[in-house]
Every structure is written in C-alpha cells, then in structure tokens.
Structure 1
Amino acid sequence: MKKVEKLLIIGIVLISSILLGTMTLAKPAQANASIVIVIDNEVKQRIPLVVEEEMQTYEFKFGEQTGYLEVKNGKLRMLEMPKEICPEGICSETGWIARPSQAIVCLPNKIIVTIQGLDDKSDEIL
C-alpha cells in the first residue's frame, strides 16, 4: 500500500469518527424526560423537560437559599449563585446538559441536578 493510500484511509476513518461523535453528542433530550433535583440525598423536585425555543426558568429552594435552572431546547443549566453560597461556582460553570448521562453538581450545597428519561435503566447514585 502506498503512503497516499494509507493517509487517505486514515483521513476517512478520522472524519467518520468525528461525524459519529458529533451526532451522538448532539442527540436531543428524550421525549418525556424530566429534570430531577436532589438535595441532601433526597429527591426534592421533578420537572418535565420541555423542548421549546423559549427560555424557561425554574426555581428550587435549599435551606434558606434559592437556586435557578434555565431550560431551553431540551437542555438545562444552573444559574450562578452568590459566592457566599457557592464559592467555586462549578455548578454554573458546568454549562448546558442535555442527556441522562450528564449531571450538574454543587458540592457545598449537596445539590445534584440530572435528566432522567422514561427508558433510563441506570441506578441513581445518591
């Protein structure tokens, strides 16, 4: 096999892998999925995950504090909390999640936000 043929095969495999990976990552949230908010190892709220163009904001309480989630196009993210509540802000820096395998975690406040689909057979780790 010539060097050009080897490079062509490697290029085709690489492009195919990239396309397959982006299609998998771009997969939208499942129909009938829900947002699950777990605070201190207890499910506090379940919210239907809607796939709409319009931004939705949801409020949840933990202790004396309030947190906010934004939902748009079947994706969600946690809005930034004050530094005295969440000093590192990692939960808001997580960004958008859209699949059941993803989670937003706020360790100082013991908050876990996940997407759960109807066909999600995985065990919850609480």
Structure 2
Amino acid sequence: MNNASIPALIFPAISLLCLAYTNRFLALTTLARGILKEHSVAPQPHWEVQLINIRHRLHLIKRMQMLGLAALLLAALSMGLMYFSVPWYSGEITLALALVCFVSSLATCVHEITLSIDAIEVEFKRAKVPEI
C-alpha cells in the first residue's frame, strides 16, 4: 500500500457518517415541524423545551456535517499531496488534520446523542414513566 492510498481508507467511513447525519437531520426537522404545528394551535410549555433542544441539536448536526466534509476534503487533498510527492510532511500533516476533523465530528455526534436522550427524558417524565 503506497502512502497516497492511506487517506482513502477513511472515505467510506466519512460517507456513511454523512448519510447518517443527514438522516438524523431530516428526522429532527420533521419532528420540529410537527411540534411547531401542534404548538401554534395549542401552546404547551414542554414543547418549548423540546423545540430549544431540537434547535440546538440541528446546529450540532450542521457542525457534524461540516467537520465530516472538511475531513473528506482534507483526506482528498492529502492523497493528492502524497501522490504528487509534495514534501512528505505536507500530506501527512493534511491527513492528521483530516483525522482531527473526523474525530471532532464523532465527538460532536456523541454530544448530540446525549441531547437526544435528554429530550426523550423530558417526555418520559411528563408521562410519569418510572426511571430505570
């Protein structure tokens, strides 16, 4: 395996993550539209809490997607730098930056999942579902 093929190893992972992030985004926007419609007819205090949470999560998903795309672009740039034998450190530094973006995207995803759990906990408490 030559050096230029090493950055290519993260392409499938980034592509799958971006697809998963897009699915989360679409599900949240659908949920938000439903809650907003219901809230405009009969405002409920708990909906405001959920809408704030959803807005925050949508911004996190945007950040996750941007970091994932930055990782993809940096990995592609890294491949080009390594392929054209630009000084060795250029490609490796660019690959390191791609990996930092990739890991940051995953860390942001963990934070968004935590907020997702917090959001459903609000509904469980409102419905008086016993804690486990």
Q: What TM-score, normalized by structure 2, do the two folds share? A: 0.31
Q: What TM-score, normalized by structure 1, do the two folds share? A: 0.31
Higher normalized strand content (fraction of residues) = 1
* Larger radius of gyration between Structure 1 and Structure 2: 2
